[in-house]
Amino acid sequence: IAVVFDTPYVDWTPDQHAVQMIKDLDNWPQADPEMEYQVAQALQKKKHDVLLIGVHDDLRDMTARLADWKPDLVVNATEAYLDNSELDYLIPALLEAEGYRYTGAPPLSLLVTRNKSIAKKILAFHGVNVPSFRTYRVGERPHDVTLRFPLIVKPMQGDASEGISQASIVHDQAALIDRVAFVHDRFTQPAIAEEYVEGRELYATMLGNGDKVEILPLVEMTFDAAHSRPEDRIATQSAKWDMNYRKRRGIKNVFARKLPKAASERLATVCYTAYRALWLRDYGRLDVRLAPDGQIWFLEANANPYLSYGHDSAESAHKHGLVYEEFIQRIVDEAMARDA
């Protein structure tokens, strides 16, 4: 099995990573920030031969290594190309063109889920609740706003809560104009403004294909009493990734408890519908909100979620009965069965 991942290092060599893998096996599993090591180590634990291939800017090197090794499967652990997350679809597109089996979503799914506007329009067509929204092209100034404030303003194609902070919540048109301009200037991409949905922030990791898709135990982002206003309780970039910020603010990711039966049933319907409508494969993650009235609102889909040990998807799998190496093996099995 080949594990393909993106790297910021132009001078990456497989020898360096092979040494790191073997050395780290003695202390595995661990919360190593390098996800590709963990995935490769998990596969080694399951007795697979593993080749790591780092991709920065030379796709020819990747294809040459794959052609030389001829793997049975490629684990697509890339999150970007040329340090640009908007180009992540190019890796599976090339793998598909070259005829390799690979894990995870196809290029179309990555493109669609990356674009928050398109994903929401597709799911609205399928009857899923999505917040009312408006998009603003680069340089476009909001006017004649008909959406209900407060709004949350995000980069159209942002990933991992990039560009989302407490300042993303706006309460009037003047603040909306300022925040849209900030997104345009900072990220050089369209902005999307959507009506804020009060409620519980839930993350659903899903495994499988076809009629055999499972929803793993739900994870909820919780906030302490310092977040007195409902609109303060959003998954900002700091709330997701800054451990010191999370500790100071009392932000935790826990397994969701006490979901009403009717809400659980609605959530399952939304998740299954979104998983299929957005062409997710093998595994994926959906972010939703459970509103006080029991309605489920779709926020975003992640067609290629973070698979690192100790993070939400792996923790949900563990709660489901799959230790880390079994979780990675399950993804491999899903991909192999799908393309058998």
Same domain, residue pair 115 and 245: yes
Query: Which domain CATH number covers 163?
Result: 3.30.1490
Are 160 and 214 in the same domain? no
Which of the listed residues 64, 89, 104 is the one where a domain comes to its end? 104
Rounded Cα distance between 304 and 282, Å, is: 10
Same domain, residue pair 52 and 66:
yes
pLDDT tens profile 30-49: 545 588 889 999 999 999 99
Residues 306 and 229 in one domain: yes
Q: How would you write 162-188 as a 3-class SS string?
A: CCCCHHHEECCHHHHHHHHHHHHHHHC
Domain boundary among 195, 214, 229: 195
What is the arithmetic mean of pLDDT over 318-332?
98
- In the beta sheet, which residues pair with residue 216? none
What is the pLDDT, as a whole number, of residue 313?
97
pLDDT of 175 > 80? The answer is yes
Q: Report yes or no: 310 and 323 within 8 Å, Cβ to Cβ.
A: no
CA distance 328 to 317: 10
CA distances from 127 to 214, 243, 269, 293 (A): 21, 37, 10, 18
Residue 123 and residue 269 in one domain: yes
Q: How many structural domains comprise the chain?
A: 3
pLDDT at position 24 is 55
Res 163: pLDDT = 83
Backbone angle region of 206, left / alpha / beta, with phi > 0 → left and psi within -120 to 50 → alpha: beta
The residue count of the chain comes to 340
Please tell me whether residues 243 and 120 are part of one structural domain.
yes
- Are 213 and 272 in a shared domain? yes
Quote the CA–CA distance of 65 and 68 in Å, as a whole number: 5
User: Are 47 and 88 members of one domain?
Assistant: yes
| Tens-digit pLDDT profile for residues 82-123 | 888 889 999 999 999 999 999 999 999 999 999 999 999 999
Structure tokens at 235: 């998954």
21, pLDDT greater than 90: no
The residue out of 150, 170, 195 marking a domain boundary is: 195
Are residues 202 and 191 located together in one domain of the fold? no
pLDDT of 37: 85
Same-domain check for residues 162 and 261: no
A 10 A CB-CB count for 134 gives 19
d(CA 241, CA 308): 13
pLDDT in tens, 214-272: 999 999 999 887 666 777 788 888 888 888 988 888 899 999 999 999 999 999 999 99
Strand, helix or coil at 254? strand
Report strand pairing: 252-255 vs 191-195: unpaired
Residues 214 and 301 in one domain: yes
DSSP 100-150: --BSS--HHHHHHHHSHHHHHHHHHHTT-----EEEE-TTPPP-S--SPSS
Averaged over 66-73, what is the pLDDT?
Answer: 96
202 Ramachandran zone, left/alpha/beta (phi>0; psi -120 to 50): beta
| Structural contact between residues 207 and 316, judged by C-beta atoms closer than 8 angstroms | no
Q: Do residues 317 and 308 make contact, with C-beta atoms less than 8 angstroms apart?
A: no
Same domain, 120 and 225: yes
The structure's pTM equals 0.92
pLDDT higher than threshold 70 for residue 188:
yes
The CATH code of the domain that includes 218 is 3.30.470.20
Range of the domain at 225: 111-129+198-338
Q: Higher model confidence: residue 61 or residue 205?
A: 205
